[in-house]
Amino acid sequence: MTLALFFFYVFSIIAVASALMVIASRNPVHSVLFLILCFVNAAGLFMIAGAEFLALILIVVYVGAVAVLFLFVTMMLDVDFASLRTNMLQYAPIGVVIGVILLLELLLVGGSFVISPTTNAVATVPIDQTIDNTRALGQLLYTRYVFLFEGAAAVLLVAMIGAIVLTLQHKPNIKRQNVGHQVSRKRSEGVELVKVKTGQGV
């Protein structure tokens, strides 16, 4: 057994075990911690496969941002997950239908290599062995798939703005600055000239 094969088995076993613990843990904080462990081992598998860019993205973006954000939100909001699970069974039929659709899609993708072995060869792009993996991926994204890349960025931007708009709540008893009203007001509304007689107050 080679060293790469040994680490492949180690990372694979830990990744599968941590993924099972994500859905089996009753404590949501423990689930997020197991999710982080699963991401780290998946990054190790990507490094063994030679996809160092995906491994670094998995560590920097998912572990460093998304999973830590999940952890902070779970710990700070103190959500009552027990009450959320009470009505979970009513969504079970929809979940089963979606699961069956995803299973059929995976079977079709896996069966396409048997039905038409040339499909993979048509979809692939020639790899330039003289440059590293990250540079080759960047050249491919910003040349051949630049419009799809920009479209995905626009979708993520719209989703972020939509999430902010849906979750933003204004409290009624808090004073806020109205910039439009301040800019559009007239001089007579903001300045009052008072003529005070000598020896008298205002």
In a domain, 158, yes or no: no
Which letter, b or e, does each residue of 50-87 get, where b requires 16 or more Cβ atoms within 10 Å of its Cβ? ebebbbeebbeebbeeebeebbeebeeeeeeeeeeeee
Q: How many domains does the chain have?
A: 1
In a domain, 130, yes or no: no
In a domain, 157, yes or no: no
31-35-40 Cα angle (round to 5): 150
In a domain, 183, yes or no: no
Long-range (24+ apart) CB contacts under 8 A made by 25-34 are 28/74, 28/79, 28/81, 29/71, 29/74, 29/75, 32/67, 32/70, 32/71, 32/74, 33/71
Q: How confident is the model over 131-144, as pLDDT tens digits?
A: 777 788 888 888 88
Domain range for 12 is 1-84
CATH number of the domain to which 6 belongs: 1.20.120.1200
In a domain, 79, yes or no: yes
In a domain, 198, yes or no: no
In a domain, 8, yes or no: yes
For residues 21 and 38, what is the distance between their CA atoms, to the nearest angstrom?
A: 10
Q: Spell out the per-residue pLDDT of the chain, length 202, in tens.
A: 688 888 899 999 999 999 999 888 877 778 888 888 999 999 999 988 888 888 888 888 888 887 777 777 777 766 666 666 666 777 788 888 999 999 998 888 777 666 666 655 555 666 667 777 778 888 888 888 889 989 999 998 998 898 888 777 667 777 777 788 778 887 777 777 778 888 776 5
In a domain, 189, yes or no: no
What is the residue-averaged pLDDT of the chain? 80
